[in-house]
Structures are given as structure tokens and as C-alpha cells.
Amino acid sequence: MAGTPDCRNRNIYNHTTKNLKECFLKYEHRLQKVKELALQIKDGIEKIGHFIQQTTQTVCPDCKNVCCISKHGYYNYEDLVYLHALGIRPPDYDFEKKDEDTCQFLSESGCSLERPFRPSNCNWYFCDSLLEFMEKMPDYQEFDNLLGKVAELWMEMMDEFAQVSNHV
């Protein structure tokens, strides 16, 4: 989305989350459809989560070039709209980490954030090795169809949010 704030900056992130919190409180009724779409997105992410987990737990442990780095672990503006629509408070960040440092949410057992609440840069990135493995799985087509549906819902949610927020 063009013109959205760079939420990798501490001050902009804090300002954006504060403004979104106020917006969702003040215009709760007008943002009802955004909230409904966010719930559908969450449900969709949960449906495909098992497939993603199954493939990542096979491919990722042997990876020499780990994708879970700080650069991918930040929420963008759209992610923050989604989280606020769900009534979720975004986690605190260590804004001092370098882009190539290990993501602050990566633990010994994988990501410490539940899949539906991860930053989209992290949640929807599939490296070549992972994608090649996924495409060979029998459930890949169903996964790909559901992923497409989630992406459509995401765009619809942001369009709806823009319509409401541009008229308040």
C-alpha cells in the first residue's frame, strides 16, 4: 500500500499503533466489516497453518541460510490494521537489532508468535527450498487455493479500512 508509514521505525511504530487503537475505539461500529474480514483471515491462516508447520519442520532445521531474521520480523502497516481489527495488542520490539540478526521472536522450538499473529513478511515468505518441498506435497493445491483466498480477504480488509478511515 503506497504512502503507508514505515513501522520499522520505533517512533512511527508507536505513533501508528496509538492512532490505530484510537481509530478502532472511536469508529468501532463503522469498522465492523474490517473486523469481520480480519476474523476470516485469521481462520484462513489457521486452516493453512498445519500444512506450513508440517513443511517448515521438515525443511527449516537443515537450512544453512535462516530466513527468520530481524528484517522480516517487523509488522507493516497492514499487519497492524489486521491486529487492531482483531483486538490484539502488537508485541513490543527491540528496535536496536540489526536486520541480519536472528528474529527476536525465534525460539528453540520455532516462532514464539502464533501463526495468525505473525508479521506478514515472515508469515508469507517461502524460500525456494521450502516452496519446492511444498509443491511436492499432496495437499499443496488445497493450501495454495486457501492462501489465495486469504490474500483476497486481506486486500478486501485493507480496501474497507481505507474507505472508512478516509471518511473520518
The CA distance from 163 to 39, in Å, is: 19
4 or 160: whose pLDDT is higher? Answer: 160
Nearest-CA neighbor of 75 among 108, 113, 30?
A: 113
Q: What is the pLDDT of residues 4-45, one digit of tens each?
A: 788 888 999 999 999 999 999 999 999 999 999 999 999 999
User: Are residues 45 and 115 in contact, defined by beta-carbon separation less than 8 angstroms?
Assistant: yes
Evaluate if residue 3 carries a pLDDT over 80.
no
- CA distance between the termini of the chain: 19
pTM of the complete model beyond 0.85: yes
> Cβ atoms within 10 A of the Cβ of 67, count?
18
Taken in order 73, 157, 42, 44, the sign of the CA dihedral is negative
Which residues are registered as beta bridge partners of 107?
110
Q: Cα(8)–Cα(73) distance, rounded to whole angstroms? A: 9
The pLDDT of 70-98, averaged and rounded, is: 92
Counting Cα atoms < 13 Å in the Cβ hemisphere of 49 gives 14
Query: What's CA 42's distance to the chain center, in Å?
Result: 10
How far is the CA of 127 from the CAs of 20, 60, 131, in angstroms? 32, 10, 6
- Total residue count of the chain as it appears in this document: 168
Q: How far is CA 28 from the centre of its chain?
A: 22
